[in-house]
């Protein structure tokens, strides 16, 4: 027989104590709205995933006054791109912007402490079981609690249980790309730049230096490549041997933990149903080119709370958030598709690398788009201006 604590009440209930859920909880508390969070973990843990926050994400954190949660993390001043043909492109983020290497456990622990200091409550070690809809909102049933709430926020990641239970419409990709995540030991100190390696088979690697001797390593590949190599670990080690750029910098994997994620793209055709909304990866995600995951968590949390703060009522705010999130996703998806075409064209990659190396301003404008410093339209205007003034 299941045992539950007596029914609890919450005006806002957030499912998921990751960056998206915690930031929403903090911002709501600042508005005088008491929210509660439910999470399946027993405490904050370091998830094995990307740990890079783009300049856009850093900007949103600053706008929300959460700068202290970023103290001590390494600044990344740009990105170095390596083509399959051996072209090296060194870029710097424009306008004095920077990204960050985050230790996710440290970052989330800081956010959770801030949330709790504002009176927020986190119910750890609670698996979501069911969500019952009624006239006044929802009854959320976890492994230990029953909580009545007027507004429900799904911040429970790419496999969102909230989305599944409430039957949000989702578009899954037809392809079967896989993301491989792990940590590598570096052979020498690395500069404060992220790295992107485009491999000859169309796979690509993102590298984020966390501390002097460790990097966060993510590879996007396909299932056939893993099958041919024998395992994800063997595939990573193959490219650590095969690529001179990689073998010169990193030791091969031995017993380190490794994680695979599939699918790595999903578009949520619905991100709101009545008084329930999705944020972060739960609201949709695209191939992890440059830290889109954490940036999406931060940005969607900001957008939702900004609409709640400025809206006449919460229902109107949820509608306005839905519109903003959908349009933002469409722009990112278009940009992502353009980059995917480049990555899978060996000729296109080499031409792009040679072209970028013609001009420092061109390189930095390009990485400004990748790092979300500029929107695609802003970058287009800058490139036209650059062409007219410099002609490369």
Domain 8-73+101-173+265-339 homologous superfamily, CATH: FAD/NAD(P)-binding domain (3.50.50.60)
Per CATH, which fold does 177-261 belong to?
Alpha-Beta Plaits (3.30.70)
pLDDT in tens, 31-40: 999 899 999 9
Measured in degrees and rounded to the nearest 5, phi and psi for residue 152 equal: -120, 130
Give 231 or 201, the one with higher predicted confidence.
231
Q: Is the pLDDT of residue 175 over 70?
A: no
pLDDT at 49: 81
Give 291 or 58, the one with higher predicted confidence.
58
Where in the chain are the domains?
Answer: 8-73+101-173+265-339, 177-261, 345-390
Handedness of CA 28, 34, 39, 44 (dihedral sign): positive
Q: Is the pLDDT of residue 174 over 60?
A: no
Q: Is the pLDDT of residue 3 over 70?
A: no
pLDDT in tens, 280-333: 989 887 765 555 778 889 999 999 999 999 987 999 999 999 999 988 877 777
Q: Which of 8, 18, 24, 17 is nearest to 38 (CA)?
A: 17
pLDDT at 228: 94
Q: Is the pLDDT of residue 390 over 80?
A: no
pLDDT at 12: 96
pLDDT in tens, 239-271: 999 999 999 999 999 988 899 888 777 777 789
Residue 228 to residues 37, 225, 242, 278, 306: CA-CA distances in angstroms?
43, 5, 15, 37, 48
Mean pLDDT of the chain: 87
Q: Which of 247, 179, 195, 204 is nearest to 345 (CA)?
A: 204
Give 218 or 338, the one with higher predicted confidence.
218
- What percentage of the chain reaches a pLDDT higher than 70? 94
Cross-strand partners of 180: 219, 260
Cross-strand partners of 170: 268
Please give the full DSSP string across 70-115, using - where no structure is assigned: GTTPEEE-EEEEE-TTS-EEE---STT--EEE--HHHHHHHHHHHH
pLDDT in tens, 329-355: 777 777 777 777 777 777 888 888 898
Please give the full DSSP string across 108-137, using - where no structure is assigned: HHHHHHHHHHTT-EEE-S--EEEEEEETTE
Cα 23 to Cα 305: distance, rounded to the nearest angstrom: 9
Q: Is the pLDDT of residue 1 over 50?
A: no
Which residues does 20 contact at the CB level (< 8 Å), separation at least 6?
155, 279, 280, 281, 282, 296, 297, 298, 300, 301
Cα 312 to Cα 319: distance, rounded to the nearest angstrom: 12
Please give the full DSSP string across 170-188, using - where no structure is assigned: EE--SS-EEEEEEEEEBSS
What is the crossing angle of helices 314-343 and 292-310, to 10°?
Answer: 160
pLDDT at 187: 93
Mean pLDDT calculated for residue range 54-69: 94
pLDDT at 124: 94
């Amino acid at each position: 027989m299941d045992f539950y604590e007596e029914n609890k009440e919450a005006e806002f209930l957030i499912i998921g104590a990751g960056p998206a859920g915690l930031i929403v909880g903090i911002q709501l508390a600042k508005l005088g709205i008491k929210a509660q969070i439910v999470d399946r973990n027993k405490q904050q843990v370091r998830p094995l995933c990307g740990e890079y926050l783009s300049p856009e994400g850093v900007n949103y954190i600053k706008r929300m006054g959460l700068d202290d949660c970023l103290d001590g993390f390494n600044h990344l001043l740009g990105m170095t791109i390596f083509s399959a043909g051996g072209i090296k492109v060194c870029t710097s983020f424009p306008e004095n912007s920077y990204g960050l290497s985050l230790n996710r456990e440290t970052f989330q622990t800081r956010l959770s402490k801030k949330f709790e200091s504002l009176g927020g409550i986190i119910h750890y070690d609670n698996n979501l079981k069911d969500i019952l809809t009624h006239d006044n909102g929802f009854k959320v049933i976890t492994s230990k609690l029953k909580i009545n709430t007027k507004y429900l926020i799904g911040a429970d990641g790419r496999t969102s249980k909230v989305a599944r239970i409430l039957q949000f419409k989702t578009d899954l990709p037809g392809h079967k790309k896989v993301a491989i995540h792990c940590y590598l030991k570096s052979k020498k100190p690395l500069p404060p730049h992220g790295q992107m390696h485009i491999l000859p088979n169309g796979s690509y690697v993102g590298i984020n230096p966390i501390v002097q001797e460790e990097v966060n390593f993510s590879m996007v590949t396909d299932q056939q490549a893993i099958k041919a190599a024998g395992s994800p670990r063997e595939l990573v080690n193959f490219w650590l041997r095969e690529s001179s750029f990689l073998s010169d910098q990193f030791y091969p994997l031995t017993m380190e933990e490794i994680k695979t994620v599939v699918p790595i793209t999903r578009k949520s055709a619905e991100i709101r149903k009545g008084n329930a909304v999705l944020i972060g990866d739960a609201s949709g995600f695209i191939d992890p080119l440059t830290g889109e995951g954490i940036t999406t968590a931060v940005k969607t949390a900001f957008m939702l709370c900004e609409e709640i703060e400025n809206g006449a009522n919460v229902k109107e705010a949820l509608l306005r958030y839905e519109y903003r999130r959908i349009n933002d996703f469409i722009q990112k998806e278009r940009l992502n598709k353009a980059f995917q075409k480049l990555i899978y064209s060996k000729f296109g990659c080499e031409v792009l690398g040679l072209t970028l190396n013609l001009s420092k301003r061109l390189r930095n404008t390009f990485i400004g788009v990748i790092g979300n410093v500029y929107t695609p339209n802003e970058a287009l205007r800058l490139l036209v201006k650059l062409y007219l003034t410099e002609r490369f």
